[in-house]
Amino acid sequence: MESRRRKGDGLSLASTLLMGMSCLFSAASVDTKAALSANPKYHHYREEYRRNLLANGLGLTPPMGWNSWNYFNCKIDEEIIKQTADALVSTGLAKLGYEYVNIDDCWAEIARDYKGNLVAKNSTFPSGIKALADYVHSKGLKLGIYSDAGYFTCSKTMPGSLGHEEQDAKTFVSWGIDYLKYDNCNEDGTKPTVRYPVMTRALIKAGRPIFFSLCEWGDLHPALWGAKVGNSWRTTNDIADNWNSMVSRADQNEVYAELARPGGWNDPDMLEVGNGGMTRNEYIVHFSIWSISKAPLLLGCDIRNMAKETMEIVSNKEVIAINQDPVGVQAKKVRALGDLEIWAGPLSGYRVALLLVNRGPWHNAITAHWDDIGIPEGSIVEARDVWEHKTLKTRFVQNLSATVESHSCKMYILKPVS
Ligand X SMILES: *[C@@H]1O[C@H](CO)[C@@H](O)[C@H](O)[C@H]1NC(C)=O
Q: Which is nearer to ligand X, 126 or 376 (CB)?
A: 126
Whether 149 and 193 have beta carbons less than 8 Å apart is answered as no
DSSP character at residue 7 = P
Alpha-carbon distance of 32 to 143, in angstroms, equals 24
**Please, what is the minimum distance in Å from the beta carbon of residue 398 to ligand X?**
4
Which one of 230-238, 270-278, 322-330, 396-404 is the stretch in contact with ligand X (CB under 6 A)?
396-404
Q: Is there binding between residue 397 and ligand X (CB under 6 A)?
A: yes
Ordered DSSP codes for 355-418: EEEE-SSS-EEEEEEHHHHT--TT-EEEEEETTTTEE-SS-EESEEEEEE-TTEEEEEEEEE--
Q: Is there binding between residue 399 and ligand X (CB under 6 A)?
A: yes
Give the one residue of 15, 26, 122, 418 binding ligand X; rule: CB under 6 A. Answer: 122
Q: Which is nearer to ligand X, 78 or 241 (CB)?
A: 78
Ordered DSSP codes for 137-195: HHTT-EEEEEEESSSB-TTSSSB--TT-HHHHHHHHHHHT--EEEEE--S--SS-HHHH
Catalytic residue among 148, 168, 178, 183: 183
Q: Which amino acid is at 104?
A: D
Q: Is there binding between residue 398 and ligand X (CB under 6 A)?
A: yes
Which one of 159-167, 217-225, 294-302, 392-400 is the stretch in contact with ligand X (CB under 6 A)?
392-400
Sign of CA dihedral 75, 303, 131, 149: negative
Q: Is there binding between residue 365 and ligand X (CB under 6 A)?
A: no
Q: Which is nearer to ligand X, 76 or 94 (CB)?
A: 76
**Please, what is the minimum distance in Å from the beta carbon of residue 129 to ligand X?**
14
Q: Under DSSP, is residue 337 helix (H, G, I), strand (E, B) or coil?
A: strand
Give the one residue of 367, 379, 385, 406 binding ligand X; rule: CB under 6 A. Answer: 367
Alpha-carbon distance of 103 to 90, in angstroms, equals 20
Is 339 a known active-site residue? no
Is 183 a known active-site residue? yes
Which one of 200-208, 243-251, 343-351, 394-402 is the stretch in contact with ligand X (CB under 6 A)?
394-402
Which one of 151-159, 254-262, 282-290, 397-405 is the stretch in contact with ligand X (CB under 6 A)?
397-405
Binding site for ligand X (CB under 6 A): 122, 126, 367, 397-399
Active-site residues: which are they?
A: 183, 238
